Amino acid sequence: MIQWLSHVMPNVVHLGWLGQNGWLTSIGQTLYMTLWSALFGGVVGMIFGVGLVIFDKHGIAENKILFNIFDKIVSVFRAIPFIILLAFIAPVTQAIVGTQIGPTAALVSLSLGVFPFYARQVQAAISSVDQGKIEAAQSLGATTSDLIFDVYLREASSELIRVTTVTLISLIGLTAMAGAIGAGGLGNTAIAYGYNQFSNDVTLVATLLVLILVVIVQLSGDALARATSHSHR
Amino acid sequence: MAEPIINLENINVLFNQTSTAVTAVKNVTLQVNKGEIYGVVGYSGAGKSTLVRVINLLQLPTSGKVEVNGDVLFEKNDTVSKRIGAKDLRVKRRNIGMIFQHFNLLEEKTVLRNVEFALRHSQKKEKEITDRAIRLLKLVGLEDRKDFYPAQLSGGQQQRVAIARALANDPEILISDEATSALDPKSTVQILDLLKRINRELGLTIVLITHQMEAVKQVADKIAVMSSGEIIERGDLVNVFTHPQKELTKELIGTKGELAKAIHLLDKDAIENLNHEEWELVHLTYTGQDVVDPIAATLYKKFDVEVSIIFGNVDELRGTPVGTLFVTLKGDAKSRQNAVDYLKQVGVDVDEYNSKEVIA
Ligand SMILES: Nc1ncnc2c1ncn2[C@@H]1O[C@H](COP(=O)(O)OP(=O)(O)OP(=O)(O)O)[C@@H](O)[C@H]1O
Ligand SMILES: [Mg+2]
């Protein structure tokens, strides 16, 4: 088996499992980048998404100034192409994590790249909660935090899981892009050891692995969203 | 002496649209007394929802005064401008339950959790909260459905959960905004009976908005008729139904339709044959006992007036039968006048339509 593999995919086998450029190492790096930036970008994006809804006109904590600040920040970061953000943010990254290369360095730009996207998704998801539910809760004397957590976030939970899935998948795409400029991970493997060295077998396997990752995320997201929803018989 | 629990004074609500300003509520003053069921009726867009949402300040008025149970929640006019604080408002709102046309339950929470949600700030222990929620579900007959999600219940059942939730904090007032409009007739009757029961048993004051006349007929003590943001007619239910003043009110309660029907039933020949000077069409309305039966004989014997019945029916207003009868009275003017006076004396309401009106 190994022998056959080293015959058809010599470069793939040559990279090995572990070691600096090994397959497990790069899978690990991709997961590391995806999960941590999902956490940072997700928390910030969630806060901005909720803010955009509650501070909006007729929102439960209507505030024109805060809404405009949130809206502008999200729009500006959303407008910067990720690949430019990567370069642009390098000095900031240096200041925060002490280096400009490697997976940890990439976290800063990945988080910044993903949060505005997620913020807009969250905004759309929780805006879809029926205004009637908000009013009913208000008529019961619900506080702002009740409204955010028990009505907006809870009632939109399956929609939120769906947009989180979409965001995670696009984040995997971003990690591949970050890989291209030296952040490690499967993207890096595909470019540095595949494309740049004319090793098409490496590119192919790296691509397949990214694809598998995407499918796993999509399927688990769908299943979770379905399990969370009680709004249909 | 009746004690007002809701007191709205000179309420105006303006909505500023981009192009035009809509005055949804115009200078409305309304008092609702403790323990009353007050119906607010009117066509779609009349401003009913906007008006009642002012009671718990889900809708802030542009001007006017909102007083609930002696506390001023909002007051704004040329000289004052004040408004209850957010925290106090939340406490106050728990004293004003509200139910809606589309139930507005939290769909990701079970029936029990929906009711418990209302009790979150009640300073009770978790166990007490659950006990109270279950007691409320018993009240509405749904304790066996406590672990269901709203989507697994029928509309009528969902509305009953919404009622349990609205009653969770022992409110003194319940506002019902078209609560039966999305339900089938059977569920509608059940919900109305439930509202009547809690009004009686818990002494709850209920403000009932609806465009279904049947609903107010069944339960309301008083009604207000709204049109274009104003209350155009109001008063005791039976009074308004038996003596509607405004055209719109007559239209809403069907008096107009009944008159048209009576005229339609008076066939052409009959009209031709009647001496125009000697007859008139009268609309008799009477409550309580069936006083009409012996009337024909009496009028003939006593006043020499001939009575022919065109049609009649008996309606029920909050349990009181109210009869309506269209008859023609034949006889000379003097006798007819005596007959009508007599009818009024025995407690029958008489609307007279002279022959010219009928033929025109
Ligand atoms: N948030 C709003 N913004 C602008 N206009 C509004 C708003 N809410 C209500 N209106 C307008 O105010 C008027 C009264 O509306 P309202 O909902 O109070 O009527 P309603 O009597 O409850 O009608 P329905 O029987 O259809 O519920 C309508 O012309 C409506 O378009
Ligand atoms: Mg309405």
Q: Could you report the per-residue pLDDT of B314-354, keeping only the tens digit for each?
A: 888 887 888 888 888 888 888 888 888 988 888 888 888 77
Note whether residue B248 is domain-resident. Answer: no
pLDDT in tens, chain A (233 residues): 778 878 878 887 778 778 788 888 899 999 999 999 999 999 999 999 999 999 999 999 999 999 999 999 999 999 999 888 888 888 888 888 888 788 888 898 899 999 999 999 999 999 999 999 999 999 999 999 999 999 999 999 999 999 999 999 999 999 988 877 777 888 888 887 878 888 788 889 989 999 999 999 999 999 999 999 998 75
Quick check: CB of B53 below 6 Å from ligand 1? Answer: no
Other CB atoms within a 10 A radius of the CB of residue B300 amount to 15
Note whether residue A11 is domain-resident. Answer: no
Q: Would an 8 Å CB–CB cutoff place B120 in contact with chain A?
A: yes
Quick check: CB of B158 below 6 Å from ligand 1? Answer: no
Question: Average pLDDT for residues B186-204, to the nearest whole number?
Answer: 94
Domain stops at, among B202, B220, B243: B243
For the domain that residue B325 is a member of, what is the CATH number? 3.30.70.260
Note whether residue A7 is domain-resident. Answer: no
Structure-token match 């070691």, residue found:
A19
Note whether residue B249 is domain-resident. Answer: no
pLDDT of res. B40: 97
- Are both B116 and B259 inside the same structural domain? no
Contacts of residue A143 in chain B, CB cutoff 8 Å? 90, 121
- Are both B31 and B115 inside the same structural domain? yes
**In chain B, which among 140-179 make CB contacts under 8 A with chain A?**
149-152, 162, 165-166, 168-169, 175
- Are both B180 and B207 inside the same structural domain? yes
Of residues A182 and B169, which shows the higher confidence score? B169
Task: List phi, psi (to 5°) of B128.
Answer: -65, -40
Question: Average pLDDT for residues B139-152, to the nearest whole number?
Answer: 96
Of residues A136, A140, A157, nearest to B108 (C-beta): A157
- Number of structural domains (chain B) is 2
A194-203: long-range contacts, CB 8 A cutoff, minimum separation 24: A194/A11, A197/A11, A199/A11, A199/A12, A201/A8, A201/A9, A201/A10, A201/A11, A201/A12, A202/A9, A202/A11, A202/A12, A202/A15
Quick check: CB of B24 below 6 Å from ligand 1? Answer: yes
Domain stops at, among B214, B243, B272: B243
- Are both B122 and B199 inside the same structural domain? yes
- Are both B27 and B89 inside the same structural domain? yes
For the domain that residue B95 is a member of, what is the CATH number? 3.40.50.300
SS3 for A68? helix
Who's near A86: CB < 8 A, 6+ residues apart? A106, A109, A113, A177, A178, A181
- Residue-wise pLDDT for B24-83, tens only, equals 999 999 999 999 999 999 999 999 999 999 999 999 999 999 999 999 999 999 999 999
Quick check: CB of B318 below 6 Å from ligand 1? Answer: no
In the structure, ligand 2 is a single-atom ion and the residues with CB under 5 Å from it are B 49
Note whether B138 and B151 are within 8 A (CB).
Answer: no
B107 and A228 within 8 Å at the Cβ level: the answer is no
Beta pairing partners, B235: B223
Indicate the pTM of the whole model.
0.89
Of residues A132, A143, A151, nearest to B102 (C-beta): A132
For the domain that residue A84 is a member of, what is the CATH number? 1.10.3720.10
- Are both B231 and B326 inside the same structural domain? no
Residue B96 has pLDDT above 90, yes or no: yes
SS3 for B287? strand
Residues B174, B175, B179, CA angle at the centre, nearest 5°? 115
A133 and B104 within 8 Å at the Cβ level: the answer is yes
pLDDT of res. B293: 63
Residue B1 has pLDDT above 60, yes or no: no
Return the minimum-mean-pLDDT range out of B136-145, B164-173, B183-192, B301-310: B301-310
- Number of structural domains (chain A) is 1
- Residue-wise pLDDT for B205-260, tens only, equals 999 999 888 889 999 999 999 999 999 999 999 889 888 899 899 888 887 778 88
Å from CA of B23 to ligand 1 middle: 9
Nearest-angstrom CA–CA distance, B88 and B68:
13
Å from CA of B62 to ligand 2 middle: 19
Domain that holds residue B118: 4-243
Contacts of residue A132 in chain B, CB cutoff 8 Å? 100, 102, 104
Q: What is residue B152's DSSP assignment?
A: G
Residue identifier of the C-alpha nearest atom 13 of ligand 1: B24
- Are both B182 and B52 inside the same structural domain? yes
Quick check: CB of B156 below 6 Å from ligand 1? Answer: no
Taking CA–CA distances from A143, the nearest residue in chain B reads B90
- Are both B199 and B288 inside the same structural domain? no
- Are both B63 and B145 inside the same structural domain? yes
Taking CA–CA distances from B162, the nearest residue in chain A reads A136
- Are both B228 and B179 inside the same structural domain? yes
Domain that holds residue A122: 21-231
B165 and A140 within 8 Å at the Cβ level: the answer is yes
Helix axes B111-118, B155-167, angle to 10 degrees: 30
Note whether residue A16 is domain-resident. Answer: no
Note whether residue A6 is domain-resident. Answer: no
Note whether residue B75 is domain-resident. Answer: yes
Strands of chain B, DSSP E: 4-16, 21-33, 37-42, 63-68, 71-76, 81-83, 96-100, 173-177, 205-210, 222-227, 230-236, 279-287, 306-317, 320-330, 349-354
User: What confidence tier does B356 reach under pLDDT thresholds 50, 70, 90?
Assistant: low
A230 and B107 within 8 Å at the Cβ level: the answer is yes
Å from CA of B15 to ligand 1 middle: 9
Tokens of B293: 């039966």
Note whether residue A15 is domain-resident. Answer: no
Note whether residue A157 is domain-resident. Answer: yes
Note whether residue A29 is domain-resident. Answer: yes
Note whether residue B50 is domain-resident. Answer: yes
CA A223 to chain centre: 19
Note whether residue A96 is domain-resident. Answer: yes
Note whether A204 and A210 are within 8 A (CB).
Answer: no
Contacts of residue B109 in chain A, CB cutoff 8 Å? 150, 154
Q: In what order do the strands lie in the sheet with B71-76?
A: B21-33, B4-16, B63-68, B71-76, B81-83
- Are both B108 and B217 inside the same structural domain? yes
Nearest-angstrom CA–CA distance, B27 and B45:
16
Strands of A139-225, DSSP E: none
Of residues A133, A139, A233, nearest to B152 (C-beta): A233
Return the minimum-mean-pLDDT range out of B102-111, B120-129, B312-321: B312-321
- Are both B196 and B271 inside the same structural domain? no
Note whether residue B177 is domain-resident. Answer: yes
Of residues B321 and B105, which shows the higher confidence score? B105
Mutation choice for ligand 1 from B15, B102, B231, CB with most ligand atoms inside 8 A: B15
Q: Would an 8 Å CB–CB cutoff place B106 in contact with chain A?
A: yes
Domain stops at, among B243, B269, B303: B243
Taking CA–CA distances from A230, the nearest residue in chain B reads B108
**Best B52, B93, B105, B107 residue to mutate vs chain A (most A CBs within 10 Å):** B107
